[in-house]
Amino acid sequence: MTVDGVRHPVVAGVDGSECALQAVRWAAAEAALRRLPLRLVAAHTWPAGGLVGNPGLGIDPQVVLRDAVRGRLAAAEAAVAEVVPDSPAVKVEQVEQVEVEGDPVAVLAGESERATLLVLGDRGLGGFTGLLIGSVAVALCTRAGCPVVVVRGPEVDPTVPRREPVVVGVDGSQAGEAAVAFAAEAAALRGVPLVAVRAWRDIPVDPAVASLVGWDAVESGEREALAERLAGLRTSHPDLVVHKVVVRDRPARALVDESRGAQLVVVGSRGRGGLRGLLLGSVSQQLLHHAHCPVAVVRGG
């Protein structure tokens, strides 16, 4: 993204975990695709009780911690080199290592205000495979000033072109509109189709009258609503192939199912009825926990 002549970078959070390195590799490929700088950011805090060294052995705990952080950044830059060799055809314009003292959520939220994209692993140091997504990722999906990509699912070789589509959830909310715009750009950059999913089982209907509802008419209305939400893409991305999927299912389950054959799934931070600034929407949270590919969470304006 370029604003007032400034090319805002792709920012990747670095914490030394394998999940973070997977996110760094994804971020490097994305930065190369967008021809943007890549900024590797490692935040650290001091324990509340302070650090105790051993003067007799010449051990300075602050030096030990900073060396560890710099080692993590060096490993992250090495991961970038594996994915994006320094060649004229495919390259990251600039790679910057940044060490910051402070709470990771606050530091990365600040970084996101000057970023095109913030990329995170789905869990940090101390995470256990199969358990809930890391708290840093969840917190940043609600606070970041730019779209957040949480890299999850099996790692694939970022140097090999992929043909899987980009999937987006379409619900008509402000965040949902922003998600459609982001997903369309991502699909166009990759030269792949966009799969736009509108799921409508979440429409509230009293069971007493459910049998009286004309579901065919409801589905027809949902198809019309989806077409209306996507109409602008004919102008902004005239060559983009768009597949429309309307399904009577819970939105989260429908999008998780679609993520099995996707390279990226995109969703707004809050859906219909969401209030800006409150907790992450339930659909977004379920995707962060269960999607089979990286998830982009986009906030509305």
* pTM for the structure as a whole: 0.85
Cβ within 8 Å of residue 130, ≥6 positions away = none
Per-residue pLDDT of the chain (301 residues; tens, 9 = 90+): 554 556 899 999 998 889 999 999 999 999 999 999 999 999 887 665 555 555 555 566 677 778 888 899 999 999 998 887 654 444 566 899 999 989 889 999 999 999 999 999 987 544 433 334 567 888 899 899 999 999 998 888 877 889 999 999 998 788 889 999 999 999 999 999 999 999 876 555 566 655 555 556 667 888 898 999 999 999 999 999 999 999 988 899 999 999 999 999 999 986 544 434 344 578 898 999 999 999 999 987 6
Q: Assess whether 17 and 69 both reside in one domain.
A: yes
Q: Assess whether 11 and 145 both reside in one domain.
A: yes
- For residue 205, the tally of other CB atoms under 10 A from its CB is 13
Q: Per residue in 167-183, is it b (16+ CB within 10 Å) or e — as a string?
A: bbbbbebebbbbbbbbb
Helices (H), 126-250: 135-143, 174-190, 215-230, 233-236
Closest C-alpha among 257, 226, 186, 13 to residue 112: 13
- Which residue range is the domain that position 113 belongs to? 2-151
Structural domains counted in the chain: 2
- Domain for residue 159, yes or no? no
Domain with residue 212: its CATH number is 3.40.50.12370
